[in-house]
Chains A and B, each alone.
Chain A
Amino acid sequence: MRGLRCSYGDFEAVRGIDLRAEPGELLAVLGTNGAGKTTTLEVLQGRRPADAGRVRVLGLDPADQRRALAARAGVVLQESALPDELTPAEFLRLWQQMAGNGQLTHRPVDAQLARVDLAHRRDVRIGQLSGGERRRLDLATALSADPELLFLDEPTAGLDPGSRADTWTLIRQLLHTGTTVVLTTHYLEEADALADRLAIMHQGQVVVAGSLADVLATRHARIRFTVDNDTALPAENLIGPATTTRQRDHQHVEVRTPDLVHDLRILLAWSQTNGIDLQRLHASEPTLAEVFHDVRNTTQEVTP
């Protein structure tokens, strides 16, 4: 996808973004609310046309070849779109008849339900399923014909930790068998655990993109500690830049460093040599959450 632009009236929801997912990898699209993630997915799935830009999915133009794409791509919508009055078994049978106009080979309904641990609920009205069970039925529907590409729009929203872990396991199995996955999620740990590459959107633009390692490499590690107010910190050329917040009788110090281990060694040696007690010492590599919060607070573009 190159230069995608989409508008709702005068509001431009997506403002010229580039995205690419390689076969067999999971691309996580993260972003603040209203960042343009769902609109982007709608274009990729052929559910709405692009106002500008070039979009190809599995080599197909989703706007013009929506039906051909539907035969090869599964979709879990953000909203759990299910008829309350039907049972999971009835709904999956209906889906099989709808999808590909009956031309696709689908897994047997009971196997589909068992795959997402819903076999015991096959004949219960969907309206009586829990939110998590509905989400799993969404997933079973998307996987019905073993798609080459899977779009997952917040697939674990509303799931309990156990069900979320099961879903992650299923996604990993799909990746292992070569399925390409495009995932949007608000759970950063989900992207951290599953994504080969990620893109963070903000206000209709991709602000950060690349592999997880690439993205994290754009941020420095962090060392925090507390020392007495009259303590002189190590020379600036020995460790990364430090910021201090002074309170009555102590100061909180935060050091940002590209080399966490090096700076930590310097600090520990300095404290030992000078007999300084490093209270509340905390050292951490950069996290996705930090990157995300930086994106929210600044809209500066970071090269992947």
Chain B
Amino acid sequence: MTSALALARAELRILARDRVAAFNVVIVPLVAAAYLVANPPTQDIPGPLAASIAALLLAVFTGAALVLKSVMALVQRREQHLLERWRISGAAPTAILAGTLLPGALLLAAGLAVMFPAIAIALDHPPAQPVWLLLAAVLAVLSGSTAAIVAAAYARTTDGAAVVALPIFAALFGGGIWATVVPLGDITWRMRATGGGALTELVRIGWEGPTDGTGIVAGATAVGPSLLALLTLTVVLAVAATHTFRWNPRH
């Protein structure tokens, strides 16, 4: 734990010293949130639109702030032989990966912490059961980070990181759109299997409330399929990661 936190702090310090990255990470979400609040859609907004915007934002943030950032970080640190360096320190492999990936997770969390309230304020439509938004964020971090570890095995250079992250981004965003254009009760297992579809379903349940019933128990029942899909996806990706991940660019 000490190793992971120390490494995460160092990664955040490195990120903060990269002015372009720091600008993209901090300023862009704030400006987007401010714009949304200052210029709310003027049409009569039905409830699902707020959920749809939130779901697609989660997909975009997971793809860009978490997955792309994490794949690039892993590939760059491997190219720099820093992953090897941390391995010879005796730190546990999971601690090294967690420390390297934690900044991406924090960026995602920070982006959502800014954007979700902005959506609620701008559209005057607060989420019905916010706990499922929190669950969606946690599962986005778990599945997105694991996907990033798998993808990093297939990129030899930092330039290649964007290429290998693209299919994940497509699954998140494409699956997200797919699951927003149907009624909440019509989301299928195929949609959930993209990852983006399951995250979207969680966000929609969190924002719109479950279709059957109104209480938290009804919500918990409704999120079951998405939860199962995302956990299964994460486990499959984790198994793949243990077989494919490379610490050394020579290997």
Using CB atoms and an 8 Å cutoff, list the residues of chain A in contact with chain B.
8, 42, 45, 47-48, 66-71, 75, 77, 79-83, 85-86, 90, 94-95, 97-102
Contacts of A81 in B (CB 8 A): 80-82, 84-85
Contacts of A45 in B (CB 8 A): 88
Which residue of A has the minimal Cβ distance to B95? A101
With contacts A70-B88, A77-B84 known, is A98 near B7, CB below 8 A?
Answer: yes
List 22 contacting pairs A-B, 8 Å CB cutoff, sorted by A. A47-B88, A47-B247, A48-B248, A70-B88, A77-B81, A77-B84, A81-B85, A83-B82, A85-B14, A86-B13, A86-B14, A90-B10, A97-B2, A98-B6, A98-B7, A98-B91, A99-B90, A101-B2, A101-B91, A101-B95, A102-B2, A102-B3
Q: Which of B7, B10, B18, B82 neighbours the largest number of chain A CB atoms within 10 Å of its CB?
A: B10
Interface size band for B: 20 to 34
CB of B17 closer than 8 Å to a CB of A = yes
Complex CA gap A109/B18 in Å reads: 25
Shortest C-beta distance, A9 to chain B (Å), equals 11
Complex CA gap A102/B10 in Å reads: 15
With contacts A70-B88, A70-B89, A85-B17 known, is A79 near B81, CB below 8 A?
Answer: yes
- Whether A83 lies near B3 (C-beta < 8 A) is no
- Whether A83 lies near B89 (C-beta < 8 A) is no
Shortest C-beta distance, B93 to chain A (Å), equals 10
- Taken residue by residue from 80 to 116, chain B's Cβ proximity to chain A (1 for < 8 Å, 0 otherwise) reads as 1110111111111001000000000000000000000
With contacts A45-B88, A101-B2 known, is A85 near B7, CB below 8 A?
Answer: no
Contacts of B243 in A (CB 8 A): none
Question: Which residues, 1 to 54 on B, are CB-close (under 8 Å) to A?
Answer: 2-3, 6-7, 10, 13-14, 17-18
- Whether B10 lies near A86 (C-beta < 8 A) is yes
With contacts A47-B248, A79-B81 known, is A98 near B17, CB below 8 A?
Answer: no
Complex CA gap A132/B110 in Å reads: 40
With contacts A83-B14, A85-B14, A90-B10 known, is A98 near B86, CB below 8 A?
Answer: yes
- Whether A94 lies near B88 (C-beta < 8 A) is no
Q: What would 16 more interface pairs be, CB under 8 Å, given A79-B84, A81-B80, A94-B6?
A: A47-B84, A66-B90, A67-B90, A70-B88, A77-B81, A77-B84, A81-B85, A82-B80, A83-B80, A83-B82, A90-B13, A94-B7, A98-B90, A98-B91, A101-B90, A101-B92
With contacts A83-B82, A85-B17, A90-B13 known, is A71 near B6, CB below 8 A?
Answer: no
Contacts of B13 in A (CB 8 A): 85-86, 90
Complex CA gap A79/B88 in Å reads: 13
Contacts of B81 in A (CB 8 A): 77, 79-81
- Whether B88 lies near A75 (C-beta < 8 A) is yes
Shortest C-beta distance, B115 to chain A (Å), equals 28
- Whether B89 lies near A98 (C-beta < 8 A) is yes
7 smallest CB-CB distances across A and B, nearest first, come from: A70-B90, A81-B81, A97-B6, A81-B85, A98-B89, A85-B14, A99-B89
Complex CA gap A66/B18 in Å reads: 34
